[in-house]
Amino acid sequence: MCLILFSYNDHPAYKLVLAANRDEFYGRPTKNAGWWDDQPNLLGGKDLKEQGSWLAITRDGKFAAITNYRDPKHIKADAPTRGKLVTDFLLNDHTPEDYLKNLQESGSLYNGFNLIFGHQNEIFYYTNATNFYDKLAPGTYGLSNALLDTPWPKVVKGKNKFNNLLKANHDFPVEHAIKDLRDNHLAPDQELPDTGIGIEKERQLSSMFIEMSGYGTRCTTVITIDKQNEVRFKEVSYIPENDFSTSFKIS
């Protein structure tokens, strides 16, 4: 994922509301969201190149989502795939606290990443960019390719739109959130971060929804978990095109 907006225990009807865009090369083979054939308790999209995921949830309410941390000066060509960090947490009997210990010990092996993980009652954030973790307090958060809540233009705009939907609607409007995440307006140059990739790429990557030659937003996903532990999951894939939605009760 390259933009994740989420509200944790900060809405009268929901424990969690999460809306996210996945940005990736168009040619990277991907299986659209669904229950995995080989792991029937796991729901999410699948990276067919490395067999990991960028965002997934289990029938018992564990979930994880990852973004890359943009740091072109410290790219390791032989680093393991970051998508396995999502599935390793979800498919093994780790508590979030146990997994944090694993991340702190092995996080330096990977290229830069941010990981949001936990379950509907407890959410953690970890980044190997600074080997930092935090057990998140109730609130609304935004994450792109820098540290959590770094005020990049897309994060600021995304959180504003997201908060407006949370405040105006008791029943979170999933379709409206997906529409908001299709915002492809570029940020003004004076608001762009400097991450070492040059002004033109900073400009192209500044929108919430990215459209570049060979690279861009591949899908939008919205997950809600209400106070009765009912999960709604909807994903709209753009390349390849597909709409998927389901709901289930946390077991």
pLDDT digits 0-9 by tens, 20-40? 999 999 999 999 999 999 999
- Residue 84 is assigned to a structural domain of this protein: yes
Q: What pLDDT is stored for residue 169 in this prediction? A: 76
Compare 251 and 223 and report the one with higher pLDDT. 223
Average pLDDT over the chain reads 97
Q: What pLDDT is stored for residue 44 in this prediction? A: 98
Q: What pLDDT is stored for residue 12 in this prediction? A: 94
Q: What is the mean pLDDT of residues 33-49?
A: 97
CATH code at 242? 3.60.60.10
- Residue 181 is assigned to a structural domain of this protein: no
Segments forming the whole domain that contains residue 224? 3-150+214-249
CA distance 4 to 148: 10
Q: Is the pLDDT of residue 41 over 80?
A: yes
Q: What pLDDT is stored for residue 251 in this prediction? A: 86
- Residue 188 is assigned to a structural domain of this protein: no
CA distance 34 to 74: 34
Q: What is the mean pLDDT of residues 66-70?
A: 98
**200-210 as b/e, with b when 16 or more CB fall inside 10 Å?**
eebebbbbbbb
Q: What pLDDT is stored for residue 128 in this prediction? A: 98
- Residue 161 is assigned to a structural domain of this protein: no
User: How many CB atoms sit inside 10 A of residue 120's CB?
Assistant: 21
Is the pTM higher than 0.85? The answer reads yes
CA distance 55 to 204: 24
- Residue 28 is assigned to a structural domain of this protein: yes
- Residue 204 is assigned to a structural domain of this protein: no
Least confident of 35-39, 69-73, 86-90, 169-173: 169-173
Q: What pLDDT is stored for residue 62 in this prediction? A: 97
pLDDT tier at 1 (50, 70, 90 boundaries)? confident
Split into its structural domains, the chain has a count of 1
pLDDT tier at 16 (50, 70, 90 boundaries)? very high
CA distance 172 to 232: 11
CA distance 131 to 108: 8
- Residue 117 is assigned to a structural domain of this protein: yes
pLDDT digits 0-9 by tens, 130-184? 999 999 999 999 999 999 999 999 999 999 999 999 998 789 999 999 999 999 9
3-class SS of residue 206: coil
- Residue 168 is assigned to a structural domain of this protein: no
CA distance 208 to 160: 12
Q: For helices 83-91 and 96-106, give the axis angle rounded to 10 degrees.
A: 150
